[in-house]
Structure 1
Amino acid sequence: MMDWARHLIIVPILLPLVTGAALLLIDEVRHGLKALISMTSTLLLFAATLALMRIADGTPVGNDALSWSYAIGSWPAPFAIVLVLDRLAALMLVLTSVLAIASLGFSLARWHKAGPHFHTLFQFLLMGLGGAFLTGDLFNLFVFFEVTLAASYGLLLHGSGMFRVRSGLHYIAINLAASLLFLIGVSMIYGVTGTLNMADLAVRLPTVPPDNRMLLASGTAILGVAFLVKAGVWPLCFWLPSAYMAAAAPVAAVFVLLTKIGFYVLLRLSLLLFGSEAGELTGFGGMVLLTGGMATVAFASFGVLASQAMGRLAGYSVLVSSGTLLAAVGMGDTSVVSGALFYLVSSTLSTAALFMLIELVERAREPGADLLTVTMEAYGDEIDLEEDEPAEVGVIMPGALAVLGICYGCVVLLLAGLPPLSGFVSKFAMLTSMINLDGLGSPMEVPARTWVLVALVILSGLATLIAMMRTGIRTFWAPLELIVPRVLVVEVAPIIMLIALCFFLTLAGGGVLNYTDAAARSLHIPASYIGGVLESVAPPGNSEAVPR
C-alpha cells in the first residue's frame, strides 16, 4: 500500500488533538479566528475519513483489517497500541465528520460564543470518537472513551442555565459510574486472560480454563453494562432524554453519535469475541441485547407519545434508534446487521437535524406553549374570536416558517420510516432480513421473538408519526400565536445538508446496502481481523509498521 495512505489512519486522532491544543493558545475573544481554524480542521477531517472509507471499501471482504492494521511506535501486537481500519470503522468515522461539520456550522450563529473553549472541547470530542472507532485494544478504548466523556461534560454545560447544569450533573454522575464499571470489567478480563488487545483476546478466550470462565463472563458482563448505559438501554436510559433536551442544539446534535459508541463496541466485541469459535461462550449476551433492545423500543415509544416538549420527544427518538440497533446486534444475523448499519446512518442524521431544527422552531412559539396547549386539550378550552373582528383568510405563511415546516415534514418521514426517504429504505431492509433469516426456509420458521421485534419497530414508527404530527400541527398549522422566527442561513444550511444526505442515501440505496453488506460480512469473519492485527509485525527499531 502507499505510505501516505497507511499513515492516514492516525489522522482522525492526531488532527483534532493538534487543533484542540492549538486553539487553547488563542485568546477567547478572537471567536472568528478560532471558528475558522476549527471548521478548517473539521473539513480536513472529513476529507481524510472519506479517503479512508474509499480505501477500506476497495479491499476484499474479509481482508479489511489484514491490510489496515497500524502499530503505533512500530511495536508488534499485542504490545503495541494498534489502530484497525475496516468498513465499519470507516463508516463511523465519516458519520462523525459529517455530524461535526453540521453541528459546528450551526454553532457559528451564536453558540460557540456562549462559553469558553467551545472549539477546543469540540475537537477533543472528535479525537475521542475517532480513537474509539479505530482502536484495537480495550484499555485504549477506555482512554478514548474517557476523553470523549470529559469533552462531553464541558459541552453539555456550555451556555449555563439552571436546567442545563442540573441535567449536566446527572449526566456526569451516570457516566462516571459507567466508567467505573468499564474499568472493573477491563481489569477482570485482563486478570483472567493477561491481555486487552481485542484480537489477542479473541485467540485466548476459548483456551481459558473452566474454573476461570465464570470470572471472565462476569467481567465481560460488567463491561457490557457500561456500554449499555451509554447506549441508553432500558432501564438504564432514564438520564438521556433530559440531558439531550438540556444541551445546546449543536451539542445535542453531535451527542446523537455518542449513544452509537455503545452499539459500535457491543457489535464489534460480540462478533469478535463470542462468535462461532468462542466455545462455551459462543453467543454470550446475545439474548440480553435482543430483550433489552426490544424493551427499550417499547419504553421509548411510550415516551415519544407522552412527550409534549419537542426536545424530550427528540430524546426519546434517540432511544428508539438505540433500542432498534441493540436488538439487531442481539439477533447476530449478517443481513440484519447490514440493514441496521443503514438504519444507523439514516436515524443519526435525521435525529441530529431534528435537534437543530427544534431550536429554530421554538423561536416561533410562546414560552410555555406546550403546557398551554395540553391544558386546553384537557379542559376543552377554546379561543373565542370577537364578533366584530373578522377572521383573516389566506394569510401567507412567512418564508422562514415555510422552510422550517418543510424540513420538519422531511424529518417526520425519516424518523417514522415512511416512504420514500432513507428511513423507510433502512427499516425495510432490516425488517425484511429479520423475517428471512439465513438458514430458514419460510417465514413460518421465524421465532416468535423476531415477530415481536418486527411489530415493535413498526409500532415505534407509528408512535413517532403520531407524536410528531401532533407537535407539527400545534407549531405550524394551528399555533396559539403566529411568531415569525429570525433564522440565519448558517443555522438552516446544516439542517438542509443533513436532510439532503438522507435524500442521497435514498437515491444511492443500492450502493449503500452493498457497502453495509460487505461491512457486515467482514464482521462475521473474525479470523481476518485477528490475522490482520497479530500478523502486523515491525522491528522495534523500524519507523514503519509493515503489515504481513
Structure 2
Amino acid sequence: MLLSDHLIILPILLPLATGALLLLFDERRRVLKALISAVSVLMLAIVAVALLRLADADTGTPTTGVYLLGNWPAPFGIVLVLDRLSALMLTLTAMLACASLFYSLARWHKSGPHFHTLFQFLLMGLNGAFLTGDLFNLFVFFEVLLAASYGLVLHGSGTLRVRAGLHYIVINLAGASLFLIGVSLIYGVTGTLNMADLAVRIPAVPEENRMLLEAGGAILGVAFLVKAGMWPLSFWLPTAYMAAAAPVAAIFVILSKVGVYIILRLSLLLFGAGAGASSGFGEQWLLFGGMATIAFGAIGVLASQAMGRLAGFSILVSSGTLLAAIGLAEIEVTSGALFYMVSSTLTISAFFLLIELVERAQDPAADILAVTREAYGDDLDDEEEEEEVGVAIPATLAILGICFAGCGLLLAGMPPLSGFIAKFALLTAMMNPEGFGAGGVIPAMIWALVALLILSGLSAMIAMTRAGIRTFWAPIEGTVPRVLLIEIVPVAFLLLLCLAITVQGGPVMRYMEATARSLHAPENYIRDVLSAPRMPAPAREAHQ
C-alpha cells in the first residue's frame, strides 16, 4: 500500500496525535505548544489541498476514494470516503484553521488552559465528520467536535461569554440527543448505518415501516438544522458566536456548515431521486425553512448595533440561503450554493477576526453600542497589558478600513468580488424556466426566494455602511488601535482567498458543477463504497 493511499485518514490522525501530544506539556510552555500546533495546522492544510487535487483528478469518470479501517469491507466495517464535496470541506476547514490559529498566537491562546489541544480536537471532529461514510461514526465525530467546542466557547472570561456558552452547551446536547434518536430509528428500520448501503436499502423499505424511517430522518434532520441555525432553531447562535473569543468565533463559522453539509449529503444520497416512495422527503421544509431563516437573518442584520451580532446574523443569512438551495434540489442551484458557501464562510470568518481589531479603537464607556466589551470580560484591560507577540503595523486605520470595506462588499454580494459571483450564479439558476417553470412560468416561491436574496444583500450593505461610518468616519474617540502583524495577516489571508476564487471563478465554478452533478447522481459514490476491495494479506514465507 502506497503512502498516498493513507492520505485520506491523515486529516483525522494528524490533529488527534497533535492534540494528544500537547497534553504532555503544561501551560508554562506555551511557545512550544504554539509551535507544535502551528506546524500541525500547516501540515493539515497541505494534506487538504493534496486531497482536493486528488478528488478533482481528471480520470474520465467520477471516482470516490474509500479507506477501509481495519481492512473490513463496507457495510460491515468503518469506511472513510473522499469525494469532491468532502475534499472541499476539508480544504475550507484547513484554511479557516490556519487563519484562526495564527491570529490567536498574539494573545488569545494564553487566555485559558488547553486552547491548542481543544483546537486540534475540534479539527479532528470536523474532518472526521466530513470524511466518514456511516452514521454511527458521524455521531462519534460530531460528539468529538462538540466536546472540543464546549471548551473553546468558554475560552477566556466574562459574564456574557459564560452565559452564552452555557446556552450553547445545553442546545447542542439536546441536538446530540436528537441525533442519537434519529440514528436509532433509521437503524431499526433498515438494519444498517453505512450511508451507501442505506441508499440501496431505503427504496425497498416496506410501506408499513416507511413512517418510522421518515420519522428517523426528520429527527436526524432537526439535530443538524439546530447546528445549521435554521429558524426558529437559531435563537442561540448570534449571541453565542458574538460572545466567543475572536479566533474561536472565526473557526466556529464552519460549524454551522457541518449541519448544512450533512443535510446536503443525506438528502441527496438517502432521499434523492432513487429513494422510491421517500424521494424528495423534506425538500419543502428545507425550502420554506431556509427562506424564513434568510428573512429572520436579514432583519437581525438591520437591527444589530454591535458588529458581533451583525456577523452572527450574517451566518443565519448564509445558512438560510444554503438550506433553501438544497430544498430546490437542482444541479445548477446546488453548484451556485457551493460557491456561495465557500465565499460566505471565508468572509464571515474574516469579519469576526476584524471586529476585535476594529473595536479596540472604541471607548466602551462613551459608546453604549459597543457591547462586546462584556464578551471579553471585565479583565480585558489586564489581558491587553500582557506581552503580545509580533510587531505593530503602520497605517492601521487605513488597513482596517480596506479590510472592512472588503468584508462589506462580500457580505452584500456587490461586484466584482466572489460574493457577487456566487449570488449571480444562484439567481441565474433560479430564473431558469427549464428547471422550475411549468410551461415557461417561474413559480411564485422562486420569485419570493429571489427577492429575499436581493433584500438580504441590501440589508447587509446598509448595516455594514452604518457600522463603517460609525467606526471609521465619525468615531466618538479618535484612538488608533494597536494591531499586530500576526493579527492582520490572517484577516488579509481570508480576504485574499475570496479574491482568488473571484479571479479563478471559471475553474472554481467548474469544480462546483462537477461536485453538484456527483451529488445529484450518487450511483458512483454507492458503487465505489460498496465495492471497495480489501487490501491483500502480506505474503507468508514458507518455512520448510
Report the CA distance shift for 1:458/1:10 in structure 2 as closer, same or farther (over 3 A): same
- Of 494, 498, 501, the residue aligned with 2:497 is 501
How far apart are residue 526 of structure 1 and its match? 1.1
Report the CA distance shift for 1:247/1:441 in structure 2 as closer, same or farther (over 3 A): closer
Tell me whether 532-541 or 499-508 shows the greater mean CA deviation. Answer: 532-541
Q: Which residue of 2 aligns with 1:42?
A: 41
1:278 pairs with 2:272: no
How far apart are residue 537 of structure 1 and its match? 2.8
SS at match of 2:68: strand
Describe how 1:356-395 pairs up with structure 2 within 5 A.
Answer: 356-368=353-365, 370-371=367-368
Describe how 1:7-156 pairs up with structure 2 within 5 A.
Answer: 7-60=6-59, 63-65=62-64, 68-156=65-153
Q: Which residue of 1 aligns with 2:485?
A: 489
Name the amino acid aligned to 1:494: P
Q: Which residue of 1 aligns with 2:406?
A: 410
Contact 1:157 1:247 (8 Å CA) reproduced: yes
Name the amino acid aligned to 1:181: L
- Return the alpha-carbon distance in structure 1 between the equivalents of residues 538 and 407 of structure 2: 52
Q: Which residue of 1 aligns with 2:191?
A: 194
Q: Which residue of 2 aligns with 1:388?
A: none
- Return the alpha-carbon distance in structure 2 between the equivalents of residues 77 and 427 of structure 1: 39
Name the amino acid aligned to 1:335: E
Report the CA distance shift for 1:61/1:323 in structure 2 as closer, same or farther (over 3 A): farther
Instruction: Give structure 1 regions of 4+ aligned residues with deviation exceeding 3 angstroms.
Output: 59-62, 437-444, 539-543
Q: Which residue of 1 aligns with 2:443?
A: 447
Contact 2:336 2:422 (8 Å CA) reproduced: yes
Deviations, residues 86-108 of structure 1 (Å, cap 9, x unaligned): 00000000000000000001000
Name the amino acid aligned to 2:16: L
Q: Which residue of 1 aligns with 2:315?
A: 318
- Of 202, 208, 212, the residue aligned with 2:209 is 212
Name the amino acid aligned to 1:490: I
Q: Which residue of 2 aligns with 1:434?
A: 430
Name the amino acid aligned to 2:496: A
How far apart are residue 445 of structure 1 and its match? 2.0
1:162 pairs with 2:159: yes
1:472 pairs with 2:468: yes
SS at match of 2:288: helix
Report the CA distance shift for 1:368/1:342 in structure 2 as closer, same or farther (over 3 A): farther
Q: Which residue of 2 aligns with 1:338?
A: 335
How far apart are residue 63 of structure 1 and its match? 2.5
* CA RMSD after TM alignment: 1.7
Contact 1:338 1:513 (8 Å CA) reproduced: yes
How far apart are residue 438 of structure 1 and its match? 4.6
How far apart are residue 136 of structure 1 and its match? 0.4
Contact 1:35 1:119 (8 Å CA) reproduced: yes
Name the amino acid aligned to 2:248: V
Select the structure with the greater relative contact order (CA < 8 A; seq sep ≥ 6). Answer: 1
Name the amino acid aligned to 1:130: N
- Return the alpha-carbon distance in structure 1 between the equivalents of residues 153 and 479 of structure 2: 29
- Return the alpha-carbon distance in structure 1 between the equivalents of residues 415 and 140 of structure 2: 41
SS at match of 1:236: coil
Deviations, residues 282-327 of structure 1 (Å, cap 9, x unaligned): 0000010000000000001000000001100100001100100000
- Return the alpha-carbon distance in structure 2 between the equivalents of residues 134 and 309 of structure 1: 37
Q: Which residue of 1 aligns with 2:5?
A: 6
Contact 2:118 2:149 (8 Å CA) reproduced: yes
Name the amino acid aligned to 2:368: L
Name the amino acid aligned to 1:249: A
Q: Which residue of 1 aligns with 2:182?
A: 185
TM norm structure 2:
0.93
Tell me whether 362-371 or 146-155 shows the greater mean CA deviation. Answer: 362-371
- Return the alpha-carbon distance in structure 1 between the equivalents of residues 447 and 263 of structure 2: 23
- Of 486, 509, 517, the residue aligned with 1:513 is 509
- Return the alpha-carbon distance in structure 2 between the equivalents of residues 90 and 525 of structure 1: 18
Report the CA distance shift for 1:415/1:542 in structure 2 as closer, same or farther (over 3 A): farther
- Return the alpha-carbon distance in structure 1 between the equivalents of residues 250 and 193 of structure 2: 32
- Return the alpha-carbon distance in structure 2 between the equivalents of residues 140 and 29 of structure 1: 35
Report the CA distance shift for 1:252/1:439 in structure 2 as closer, same or farther (over 3 A): closer
Contact 2:437 2:443 (8 Å CA) reproduced: no
Q: Which residue of 1 aligns with 2:256?
A: 259
Q: Which residue of 2 aligns with 1:226?
A: 223
How far apart are residue 436 of structure 1 and its match? 1.2
Name the amino acid aligned to 1:467: A
Name the amino acid aligned to 1:287: Q
Deviations, residues 322-351 of structure 1 (Å, cap 9, x unaligned): 100000000110011001110011000010
Name the amino acid aligned to 1:505: I
1:355 pairs with 2:340: no
SS at match of 2:368: helix
Name the amino acid aligned to 1:30: R
- Return the alpha-carbon distance in structure 1 between the equivalents of residues 16 and 238 of structure 2: 30
- Of 232, 237, 241, the residue aligned with 2:234 is 237
Identity of aligned residues (%): 67
Q: Which residue of 2 aligns with 1:462?
A: 458
Q: Which residue of 2 aligns with 1:308?
A: 305
How far apart are residue 174 of structure 1 and its match? 0.1
Contact 1:333 1:438 (8 Å CA) reproduced: no
Deviations, residues 172-213 of structure 1 (Å, cap 9, x unaligned): 000000000000000000000000000000100011111100
TM norm structure 1:
0.92
Contact 2:250 2:353 (8 Å CA) reproduced: yes
SS at match of 2:280: coil
Report the CA distance shift for 1:492/1:461 in structure 2 as closer, same or farther (over 3 A): same
How far apart are residue 480 of structure 1 and its match? 1.1
Deviations, residues 8-41 of structure 1 (Å, cap 9, x unaligned): 0000000000000000001211111101000000
- Return the alpha-carbon distance in structure 1 between the equivalents of residues 19 and 242 of structure 2: 26
Report the CA distance shift for 1:479/1:205 in structure 2 as closer, same or farther (over 3 A): same
| Residue segments in structure 1 that go unaligned for 5+ positions in a row | 375-397, 544-548
